[in-house]
Amino acid sequence: MKDLEFPVFKTKVENDRKFNLSDPKERSDYFFLKAGDEIEEIRKFLEESAFIVYLLGKKSAGKGTYSKMLAEVIDPEKIDHFSIGDMIRGVDKELKDEKKREELVEFLKKNYRGWHSLEEVMSILEGRSTTKLLPTDFILTLIKREIAKRGRKVIFIDGFPRNMDQISYSLFFRDLIGYRDDDDFFVLIDVPEKVIDERAKWRRVCPECNTSRNLKLLPTSKIGYDNEKEEFYLICDNPDCNEVRMVAKEGDEAGIAPIKERLEMDEKLIKQAFSLHGIPKILLRNSVPINEAEKYVSDYEITPEYKYEWNEEKKEVEVKEVPWVVEDDNGVESYSLMAPPVVVSFIKQLADILRA
């Protein structure tokens, strides 16, 4: 990230072996080799306590992926992740059901405090556009409701704070919503915009089951070649889809261009949170400079890029895997990292915070 230094975290260990990080069993073995002591420490902590995490990263930076993978490693029953966007979409659905709408209004009557009347808030909610943010005091009330549904668990909140005003609210979040006296902290994620751009441009979706993959970074097991268009395409792995051709979603070819303004705001939020005092911060970095990679990570921890060639003689697509090279936001040639090594960094920093 420009003008902000996220440290490179070392996950390379002696006597390392190559793990298939796509396989759940091998991924589990990988985590225990790299951070077994810290995993047990965090599990023991969760026997008596919990904590709240505010996830801050640019759109499509991997906030959900990292938090869900951490839950997979530690204890899925004790860790919940929810995004503010999903929460609001859920409320939108409730408004269409008369009984659920009445329950929502009753909850708001008992719990909502803010500068807008309840009638105004409901009017904003029902008539809002997708680009208009709801009042922060109302968002806090909805978060309180969402947390109450989950009981005594670790909560990863994705999408709050969403603007500069909400940064200050997050510092007093527990007091504002009457939440338990648990630790809370920020997780700040640094992902080069080039990575986000490529993820969007090469995304492919199955028109039958809506599974999302990536032609360049996460292919299916079957690759096709269109002679007429002279282009390669993914074939959905789902047997129920009868080898349907996966397609690009409209607008994906533009990459990050349509969300540039959103990414700029996300960066401002991260920088603002980075400078805050008195609240612990976990810093997650998705990339490592090429000239430092050998010292910090193993080859299998680097995100692969897939290249294709059509073998005319065999009438088949040949797939070649190479390390994916990207420029970070400061123009440094870097490797993008797979999710598991980033989560190893997450686990080790989390253990440090909890034992402090």
Average pLDDT over residues 84-98: 88
| Whole-angstrom distance, CA of residue 124 vs CA of residue 133 | 9
- Residue 328: closest CA among 196, 187, 202: 196
Residue 11: band (very low, low, confident or very high) from pLDDT cuts 50, 70, 90: very high
Give the count of alpha carbons within 13 A of 3, CB side only. Answer: 7
Of the ranges 29-43, 80-94, 125-139, 247-261, which one carries the lowest mean pLDDT score? 125-139
Domain range 24-78+153-355, its CATH number among 3.40.50, 1.10.10, 3.30.2320, 3.10.20: 3.40.50
Provide the pLDDT for residue 52.
86
Main-chain dihedrals φ then ψ at residue 192, nearest 5 degrees: -55, 140
Cis, peptide link before residue 135, omega less than 30° from 0: no
DSSP 8-state code for residue 239: G
- Say if residue 129's pLDDT is above 60: no
Residue written as token pair 């208009």: 132
Main-chain dihedrals φ then ψ at residue 287, nearest 5 degrees: -130, 160
- What average pLDDT does the chain have? 89
% of the chain surpassing 70 pLDDT: 93
Q: Higher-confidence residue: 155 or 345?
A: 345
| Whole-angstrom distance, CA of residue 137 vs CA of residue 114 | 5
The answer to whether 139 touches 126, Cβ cutoff 8 Å, is no
Provide the pLDDT for residue 128.
61
State whether residue 241 is helix, strand or coil. helix
- For 262-276, how does the pLDDT look when each residue is reduced to its tens digit (9 = 90+)? 899 899 889 988 888
- Residue 55: closest CA among 189, 152, 170: 189
Long-range pairs of 324-330 with CB within 8 A, sequence gap ≥ 24: 324/216, 324/217, 325/290, 326/192, 326/194, 326/195, 326/198, 326/287, 327/192, 327/194, 328/192, 328/194, 328/287, 328/289, 329/1, 329/2, 329/192, 329/193, 329/194, 330/2
- For 269-309, how does the pLDDT look when each residue is reduced to its tens digit (9 = 90+)? 899 888 888 889 999 999 999 999 999 999 999 999 999 99
Q: Higher-confidence residue: 355 or 296?
A: 296
Provide the pLDDT for residue 168.
66
Range picked from 34-43, 112-121, 179-188 for highest mean pLDDT: 34-43
State whether residue 295 is helix, strand or coil. helix
List the chain domain ranges: 24-78+153-355
Provide the pLDDT for residue 275.
85
Provide the pLDDT for residue 181.
67
Provide the pLDDT for residue 172.
60
Residue 257: band (very low, low, confident or very high) from pLDDT cuts 50, 70, 90: very high
| Whole-angstrom distance, CA of residue 246 vs CA of residue 231 | 13
Residue 82: band (very low, low, confident or very high) from pLDDT cuts 50, 70, 90: confident
- Say if residue 171's pLDDT is above 80: no
Average pLDDT over residues 323-339: 95
pTM, rounded to two decimals: 0.87
State whether residue 275 is helix, strand or coil. coil
